[in-house]
């Protein structure tokens, strides 16, 4: 993965397409706060998993994934996305521009589909659900590492 440079015109285009909005704190403060939130939510997911509530754990792990992705978008694009669709669009744009990895993108969509959609909403949790919940910490760590670049 190279560190692609996005021109101001490309930044404006990405900002418009992703439906981003401005934050009221400095960008780095916002990034740090959102990553901290993602870690806290993931810790709650592990607690719920250990209590036997896999559906709630799956939803919390998905929320931690979304928050970590929001922080990545804020770090690299300068603005925080809103709803999931905007976060997804921005992640796709970051991958296309070479600023995020295909691996992160695949894991994001896997969690959206399996943790949020299948397990939480329909109760269709499977043998991979617990692994995805537990591995959310690696997703967060990878997003943190990418946010520095």
* Lowest-pLDDT choice from 6-15, 36-45, 99-108, 112-121: 6-15
Q: Identify the sign of the CA torsion 8, 76, 4, 84.
A: negative
Q: Is 25-147 assigned to CATH 3.30.420.40?
A: no
For residue 89, give both structure tokens. Answer: 């669009």
Q: Taking the complete model, does pTM exceed 0.85, yes or no? A: no
Residue 23 pLDDT exceeds 90: no
Q: Identify the sign of the CA torsion 63, 67, 69, 73.
A: positive
Residue 40 pLDDT exceeds 70: yes
Residue 49 pLDDT exceeds 60: yes
- Three-state DSSP string of 44-87: HHHHHHHCCCHHHHHHHHHHHHHHHHHHHHHHHHCCECCCHHHH
| Bridge partners for 21 per DSSP | 80
Least Cα distance to 18 among 88, 113, 107, 101 occurs for: 88
pLDDT of residue 100: 84
* Lowest-pLDDT choice from 3-17, 57-71, 86-100, 127-141: 3-17
> What mean pLDDT is reported for the chain?
88
pLDDT of residue 1: 34
Residue 128 pLDDT exceeds 50: yes
| Bridge partners for 80 per DSSP | 21
pLDDT of residue 11: 46
Delimit the domains of the chain by residue range.
25-147
Least Cα distance to 107 among 86, 88, 127 occurs for: 88
* Lowest-pLDDT choice from 13-17, 48-52, 96-100, 114-118: 13-17
pLDDT of residue 25: 63
């Amino acid at each position: 993965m190279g560190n692609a440079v996005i021109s101001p015109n490309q930044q404006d285009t990405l900002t418009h397409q992703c439906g981003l909005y401005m934050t009221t704190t400095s960008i780095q403060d916002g990034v740090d706060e959102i990553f901290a939130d993602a870690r806290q939510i993931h810790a709650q997911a592990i607690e719920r998993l250990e209590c036997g509530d896999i559906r709630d754990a799956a939803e919390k792990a998905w929320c931690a994934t979304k928050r970590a992705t929001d922080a990545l978008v804020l770090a690299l694009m300068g603005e925080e996305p809103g709803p999931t669709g905007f976060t997804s669009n921005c992640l796709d744009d970051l991958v296309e521009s070479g600023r995020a990895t295909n691996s992160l993108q695949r894991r994001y969509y896997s969690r959206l589909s399996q943790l949020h959609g299948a397990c939480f909403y329909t109760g269709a949790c499977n043998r991979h659900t617990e692994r995805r919940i537990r591995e959310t910490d690696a997703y967060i760590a990878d997003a943190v590492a990418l946010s520095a670049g």
